[in-house]
Amino acid sequence: MENPIDGGEFVYLSGFGNHFSSEALAGALPVAQNSPLVCPYGLYAEQISGTSFTSPRNRNLFSWFYRIKPSVTHEPFKPRVPGNGRILSEFNNSNSSANPTQLRWKPLDAPDSPTDFIDGLSTVCGSGSSFMRHGYAIHMYTANKSMDNCAFCNADGDFLIVPQQGRLLVTTECGRLKVSPGEIAILPQGFRFSVNLPDGPSRGYVAEIFGTHFQLPDLGPIGANGLASPRDFLVPTAWFEDKSYPGYTIVQKFGGELFDAVQDFSPFNVVAWHGNYVPYMYDLNKFCPYNTVLFDHSDPSINTVLTAPTDKPGVALLDFVIFPPRWLVAEHTFRPPYYHRNCMSEFMGLIHGGYEAKADGFLPGGASLHSCMTPHGPDTKSYEATIARGNDVGPCKITDTMAFMFESSLIPRISQWASESPFLDQDYYQCWIGLKSHFAVTKTSPENPSLGNGD
């Protein structure tokens, strides 16, 4: 057993990609084999595979559960009524649109009626297909009610959840996680989990990836240390309940549609488990950012927390990048992000505080999308304020901020829900319209007197 980490209410294990072991009852884990004829305490052995059986060993993900009843013990799946038609897992011109415009959304309001995490999910954009095992979806959630007598199981992909308002108590088959705004949780494909909302109205962001899993980015010349440290990732410890739950419902997301299966017991009946395919969480405040220390602006990839790779080296299906509090020290440099166009597509969110490139309009709980080759950069106010401060600003610290980006090599299509949302900021483009020409031949080319201004 690994040394447990005291997480306050819950106890965690630490590490990224470890082969963990945990048991809620001493002796519940079989010794020296996975499938004994009879498991300790009469438990059932059940494996969950997150990669194909034959994936290379360094990418092979699986865990073994030792549970009171196996997860197969349920009535047939039936379409959930009502479903959630705002969830997409396959993006085409019948359910989503192409739009190269810079898009921004204001923060979502709390729901008017009782809404749990499942019913509160809405897809903003995405690309590819969960059926083809290649692509991603970006969702936002707004909920005001804990999941009641039901668990969610996403057969389509992994969820990376970014709470922005309200903590999430996430019960999983491996144990429980308490995730606060400023922390993230990863719920891998296929895990059954339930979300409770101890703070009431809650909202946040979800990146879902199809066909691969998140890993730590290579550090290259940075070396062995820096960015997200493996030891800061927390994994739940075994926790189980042995209760009768008449009418308990497993809500399975399969191809973007929801299906219900009824059983009479809690799915959180795993007394012991071992494996490297696990839910986990991470506190973004533990991220060790790197940046320029002399001049110019680093590319945002320098702050990658987790990456979901494609088969092309260095090309991500989806990167999760953060913009945390940090010192700015660059000399004779325009310090906010540079203006640019990118072959990758960038979805941004803000957990708290402000964002250095937008003086107005990009609010905590809001979002923006700058798709492939769509120009973007600091708004007029941010540009003018930066120029006005001049060269003598000295080192300064950006505080009270935590912005993030989901960046993908696949071009997103926009869901109908997001295109027609009342929270879509119709005036977003205005933030750049005021950028004026500062072109002045005499000032920028003093060495060439022939380029006078005609005076």
Binding residues for Fe cation: 340, 376
Contact 406, 347 (CB under 8 A): yes
Q: Which is nearer to Fe ion, 46 or 346 (CB)?
A: 346
Site string for Fe ion, 290-329 (x = CB under 5 A): ----------------------------------------
Q: Which stretch binds Fe ion (CB under 5 A): 24-32, 37-45, 165-173, 338-346?
A: 338-346
Give min distance, CB of 367 to Fe ion, in A.
14
Give min distance, CB of 299 to Fe ion, in A.
9
Binding residues for homogentisate, as ranges, are 346, 355, 376
Give min distance, CB of 165 to Fe ion, in A.
25
Tokens 């038609």 -> residue: 85
Contact 155, 252 (CB under 8 A): yes
Q: Which is nearer to Fe ion, 375 or 434 (CB)?
A: 375
Contact 378, 337 (CB under 8 A): yes
Phi-psi region at 256: left, alpha or beta (left = phi > 0; alpha = psi -120 to 50): left
Q: Which is nearer to Fe ion, 210 or 347 (CB)?
A: 347
| 152/145 Cα distance (integer angstroms) | 14
Q: Which stretch binds Fe ion (CB under 5 A): 203-211, 225-233, 309-317, 344-352?
A: 344-352
Binding test (CB under 5 A) with Fe ion, winner from 183, 208, 346, 425 = 346
Q: Which is nearer to Fe ion, 156 or 346 (CB)?
A: 346
Of the candidates 57, 22, 68, the one whose C-alpha atom is nearest the C-alpha of residue 245 is 68
DSSP, residue by residue, 32-54: S-S--SS-GGGPEEEEEESS-TT
Q: How many CB atoms lie within 10 A of CB 212?
A: 23
Binding residues, as ranges, are 340, 346, 355, 376
| 157/137 Cα distance (integer angstroms) | 9
Q: Which stretch binds Fe ion (CB under 5 A): 71-79, 217-225, 342-350, 425-433?
A: 342-350
Q: Which stretch binds Fe ion (CB under 5 A): 96-104, 124-132, 267-275, 340-348?
A: 340-348
Give min distance, CB of 340 to Fe ion, in A.
6
Q: Which is nearer to Fe ion, 183 or 346 (CB)?
A: 346
DSSP 139: E
Give min distance, CB of 341 to Fe ion, in A.
8
> Per-residue b/e over 17-26, b at no fewer than 16 CB within 10 Å?
bbebbbbeee
Instruction: Estimate the share of the chain in helix, then strand, then coil, as percent rounded to the nearest 5.
Output: 10, 40, 50
- What is each CA distance from 86 to 151, 203, 228, 251, 366, in whole angstroms? 19, 16, 33, 16, 18
Give min distance, CB of 426 to Fe ion, in A.
21
* Sites for Fe ion among residues 87-116 (CB under 5 A): none
Does the protein bind Fe ion through residue 379 (CB under 5 A)? no
Which residues are part of the catalytic machinery? 297
Count of positions on this chain that bind Fe ion (CB under 5 A):
1
Q: Which residues contact 67 (CB under 8 A, 6 or more apart)?
A: 43, 44, 46, 173, 240, 269, 270, 271
Q: Which is nearer to Fe ion, 269 or 368 (CB)?
A: 368
Edge-to-edge strands of the sheet including 345-353? 103-105, 367-370, 345-353, 401-408, 316-323, 304-309
Q: Which stretch binds Fe ion (CB under 5 A): 22-30, 183-191, 198-206, 341-349?
A: 341-349
Which parts of this chain interact with Fe ion (CB under 5 A)?
346
